[in-house]
Chain A
Amino acid sequence: MDKRLERILPRVQKPARYTGGEYNQIIKDRDEVELRVAFCFPDTYEIGMSNLGLKILYKTMNSLPFVWCERAFAPWGDMYGEMKKAGIPLYALESGDSLEAFDVLAFSIGYEMAYTTVLDMLDMAGIPLRSAERPGLLPIVFAGGSACVNAEPMAEFMDLFVIGEGEEMNNELLTLLRQAKAEGWDKPRFLRAAAQIGGVYVPSLYDVEYNDDGTIRSITAQDGAPEKVRKRIVEDLDAAPYPTDPIVPSTEVVQDKVDIELFRGCVRGCRFCQAGHIYRPIRAKKPETLIRQGIETLQNTGYEDVTLLSLSTSDYRPLGALCDGLLDYCEPRSIGLALPSLRADNFSMELMERLQRVRKTGLTFAVEGGSQRLRDAINKNVTEKDLLNTCAIAFAGGWNSVKLYYMLGLPTETDEDILGIAEMADRVLHCWRENAKNKNRGVRITISTSCFIPKPHCPFQWEAQIGKEEYLRRVNLLRSAITARNVTYNWHDAETSVIESALSRGDRRLAGVLEEVWRQGGRLDAWSDYFVFDRWLGAFERCVLDLDFYASRERGLDEVLPWDMIDVGVRRQHLLRERERCYRSELSPDCRKQCSGCGAAAMLHGRKCDE
């Protein structure tokens, strides 16, 4: 171990997250490989090591014999300070080698607030921030992940982006880079060739011109790059690589459990939901595959819990068979099975009873909108009746805590809708009084609101965001309407939401803002411990860019949107149609009742969506 590192570790919190050496880490001989890849996760070890994408891609990239892929995370503030003071550059956990020595830095960006951390990790590695400042072929710095469906705010920093699912695409890219390195290509030649790989977006090959009002006039692809980059998907998830021997952290992380992924995509089509649109088409794994992979992973890790992952667990058709199969293995071994993302409308009490081996923890429902009209407008197909029925069963079964999540600022929302949130809380309370077996234990109903953020590639991508002051007005309206003692109201601060709104629909000119925020000390901005709103305001000011133009403005239908070169498979027409239906407060049937023809099925080359 590096002597300097050895001296600072005793002074930092939870040093085990900075040392590597965990069970199942992959160690190769650095002299035997041709490409050294750093999988960079722009957040803490605890968050990154809980990420299924990292587990999968760490394994797939390392399956290439000429590649050694290692991990790097963002150090927490104390370690960051110590590393700076001691002059230790960012290093990879497996080898302890500084990232300066690597051929590839591959960032996984799951949310926009991680952008400044990406810049900081580059800087800690001693690598120039902007792609243009890195003229040589190596290192290649690229990014993927769900925040890259609008890659533009990071376009100046990255050499390229991988759009969509990386299992196959990353390895195609690394294979090309191996050739480029061996044959001594220059960087432009490599980037031009990389742009021909499906799903690869090379921002420097796209010219963006602007109108006088700041909107985009045109985006023009150069040098044979595709006009539209279509995201990549893995067509057959049963055949897709899934790591049944993931790294087992030696220190506590956020998700210390086995996670098995039931399906990708979502049949629901909530209009505010980016994930529900960008992960289409719907592809499920067979229960046999999941049971086999789940058991294997439990045996290889020694974990005591399994979580079923998906956007909407209740929509997995063979859920009963899957749970039976897993419970046969788990129950006699005291292994817990958790099912997040169950829906209120087809909530199965019997299933829950079986799963809740020991403790009856709280129920959480994402209701999103306070009135049926608003829920219809956003296509959130939950009725109050369903919710109250579910609560009635739960209260009768001994649960005594319910959390209800809402967004404020959804398109078409009125004060009446907001007051509806308080009324619903009252009815849930009434439901508890009528159904609870043991009222002495009391009940806790918690309402949480966050500020709606319009995201690219969903039907609300053109919508306005209400802004900080209006959000606070609505918060206060709701606050004054909540009177019951058993109802708690928590609201998320809108400042992060405003910045996230600006970044998620931003264009490449935001590079200056990101760099400025970082220069002023911004990093780990996804953490309220580190996020400083004024730093962002100052950076917009110094870059002479208007925060409202990016954060709150409604986009015109005739506008060229910054992310128009990215095609996630869902047609613009479909998004527009859904948006219109919102204004008429009209529900759309879910994909299983009636295919809406969103277009994503075309990516399956003849296989059927949701089969």
Chain B
Amino acid sequence: MSKLRMRFSKTGRAIWISHLDLMATMQRAFSRAGSRLKYSEGFNPRPQISIALPLSVGCASVCEIMDFQLVEEVDITSLKDRLNATMPEGIEVLEIYEPTRKNAELKWLAVEGIFEYDEREVDIIQKQLAAFFTRDAIVVEKKTKRGFGETDIRPSIREIAFSAAEKSVSVTALISAQNPTLNPELLCAALRALAPELAPDFAKFTRIETFDGEGKLFR
């Protein structure tokens, strides 16, 4: 059967499932739903599924994208319902369709974050945060394959806005999804390194939506 694309959300307790464990979880969910995934050939066959942008453990998302192939033709509307009946808590299939675009066209991610400040004045912090991210360059240390390197994350942040809430500041941002990938956790790492007085006591993020290079919805 032809390639299919699934959009799904990973929220609640499921955010703690690692990328590798998620692959096994997906394979089992398909099997429980009575649809077998197509496997790779060779010595150690693996289900042919690919998740467009692997999600960090602890990060939530309502816009995950996974491509897969099935052994047999199925009705994709009923497949969505069958899968949702067999998913662990926190994983929900939003839609399944035949993709028309390549994953490489995915460029920007809308993310929301909550920066928690236990004992600080969030109204003031909110303004300082906004000012911080207007800098021309925000250079942070980033782990690379060859040890540590320096990288400027500013070009990877297309938009960013802050609003104060109860003991926290809400963040909305449009960040680079790939080439380069910006892990939203780096927003906090930048604060810790360059403006420690603004670094939150705890931060969590949710991926909200996927866009292409033109800023149009990516599907």
Contacts and interface: CB of A to CB of B under 8 A. Distances in A.
Interface in A307-328: none
A361 interface: no
Contacts of B204: 6
Contact of A16 (B18, B39, B43, B44): B18
Contacts of A16: 16-18, 21, 57
B89 interface: yes
A15 B12 CA distance: 13
Contacts of A7: 202
A248 B18 CA distance: 15
Given A7-B202, A22-B88, A334 B17 contact: no
Interface residues on A, range: 20 to 34
B23 to A, nearest CB: 11
B36 interface: yes
B69 interface: no
Interface string A231-273: 0000000000000000010111000100000000000000000
Given A10-B57, A15-B58, A21-B90, A250 B21 contact: yes
A333 interface: yes
| Most chain A beta-carbon neighbours within 10 Å: one of B12, B14, B25 | B25
A19 interface: yes
Interface string B12-42: 1110111011001101111110101001000
A1 B28 contact: no
Contacts of B21: 16, 250-252
A9 interface: yes
A358 interface: yes
B28 A303 contact: yes
Given A10-B57, A10-B58, A15-B58, A333 B16 contact: no
A14 B58 CA distance: 11
Contacts of B28: 23, 248, 301-303
Nearest to B203: A10
Contacts of A304: 27, 31
B58 to A, nearest CB: 5
A7 B25 CA distance: 25
B29 A358 contact: no
Given A301-B32, A302-B28, A302-B30, A250 B17 contact: yes
Contacts of A250: 14, 17, 21, 25, 88
Contacts of A438: none
A9 B32 contact: no
A364 interface: no
A145 interface: no
A257 B39 CA distance: 19
B58 A23 contact: no
Contacts of B90: 21
A298 B40 CA distance: 21
Contacts of B20: 252
Interface string B120-144: 0000000000000000000000000
Nearest to B30: A302
A333 B86 CA distance: 19
Q: Is the interface of A mostly helix, strand, loop or mixed?
A: loop
Nearest to A11: B58
A512 interface: no
B202 to A, nearest CB: 5
Given A299-B32, A301-B32, A251 B17 contact: yes
B87 interface: yes
Nearest to A25: B89
Contacts of B30: 302
A334 B39 contact: yes
Interface of A: 1, 6-7, 9-10, 14-16, 18-23, 25, 248, 250-252, 256, 299-304, 333-334, 358
Closest 8 CB pairs of A and B: A302-B28, A21-B13, A302-B31, A21-B89, A302-B32, A23-B88, A15-B16, A19-B13
Interface of B: 12-14, 16-18, 20-21, 24-25, 27-32, 34, 36, 39, 43-45, 57-58, 86-90, 202, 204
Given A9-B58, A250-B25, A302-B29, 17 more contacts: A1-B12, A7-B202, A15-B16, A16-B21, A16-B57, A20-B89, A21-B13, A22-B89, A248-B88, A250-B21, A251-B18, A299-B34, A301-B28, A301-B32, A302-B27, A302-B30, A304-B27
26 contacts: A1-B12, A6-B202, A9-B58, A15-B16, A16-B17, A16-B21, A19-B13, A21-B12, A21-B88, A23-B28, A23-B29, A23-B86, A23-B89, A248-B88, A251-B18, A251-B21, A252-B24, A299-B34, A301-B32, A302-B27, A302-B28, A302-B29, A302-B30, A302-B31, A302-B86, A334-B39
